A and B are shown apart, each in its own frame.
Chain A
Amino acid sequence: DQQVKQNSPSLSVQEGRISILNCDYTNSMFDYFLWYKKYPAEGPTFLISISSIKDKNEDGRFTVFLNKSAKHLSLHIVPSQPGDSAVYFCAASVSDSWGKLQFGAGTQVVVTP
């Protein structure tokens, strides 16, 4: 069963605008969430994470929001840049377990000039 879902397979956004990527999860035991970015033929690169004790975490142009009651998180990228064009994966884990990550299927972001 797919415990982490990214329902938008692709997103196109204009350079300078905000990119909003969404992720839903079903397992209420998840308490640690991460976003990864992946370029073709490379491994995923860690972007930002959030613990369930917070509802927002910000790092430069990237902000992750967590809504535990809705089991929903989102990643905001502002302003979007052409180098942000990549596949973005949402992942979740139960931090009191051994940390294995459950991944969503990914969202392909294309930033146009």
Chain B
Amino acid sequence: GAGVSQSPSNKVTEKGKDVELRCDPISGHTALYWYRQSLGQGLEFLIYFQGNSAPDKSGLPSDRFSAERTGGSVSTLTIQRTQQEDSAVYLCASSLRSRGLGQPQHFGDGTRLSIL
């Protein structure tokens, strides 16, 4: 498809396990973002990637969270030693570029993560 693709769509895991969430951005989009939405809250910025520049990790809530973007395309968000407060919908977005004139970000449908 032409949109942002995320997998899995749902993930249930036990507390303490590691999880990996995947994002395939729109082809040609150089900027990629991760957000999360906890129940009843707005979207919270986590991390973004822009081309070959160092990622902005300022939104990551703890060092248990990390993300990679390989080859300037697919990205993986990894959460180690998951905690119950990590339960949320994790959303990925991409845009043509992110600096200068504003460019709308286009979102995937998210991964609903539930920590038991």
A residues with a Cβ closer than 8 A to B are 4, 6, 31-32, 34, 36, 41-46, 49, 51, 89, 91, 93, 95-106
Contacts and interface: CB of A to CB of B under 8 A. Distances in A.
5 contacts: A89-B42, A96-B100, A100-B98, A101-B33, A101-B105
Given A45-B107, A105-B40, 5 more contacts: A34-B104, A42-B109, A89-B43, A95-B101, A100-B45
A46 B106 contact: yes
Nearest to A36: B107
Interface of B is mostly: loop
B42 A105 contact: yes
A27 to B, nearest CB: 13
Contact of B42 (A41, A45, A98, A104): A104
Interface of A is mostly: loop
Contacts of B100: 95-96
A99 B44 CA distance: 14
Interface string B85-96: 000000101010
A100 B4 contact: no
Looking at B48, B100, B105, the one whose CB has the most chain A CB atoms below 10 A away is B105
B8 to A, nearest CB: 13
B52 interface: no
Interface of B: 4, 31, 33, 35, 40-45, 48, 50, 56, 59, 91, 93, 95, 97-110
Given A98-B99, A99-B98, A100-B59, A105 B105 contact: no
B99 A43 contact: no
A36 B52 CA distance: 28
A66 to B, nearest CB: 13
B109 A93 contact: no
Contacts of B110: 43
Contacts of B107: 36, 43-45
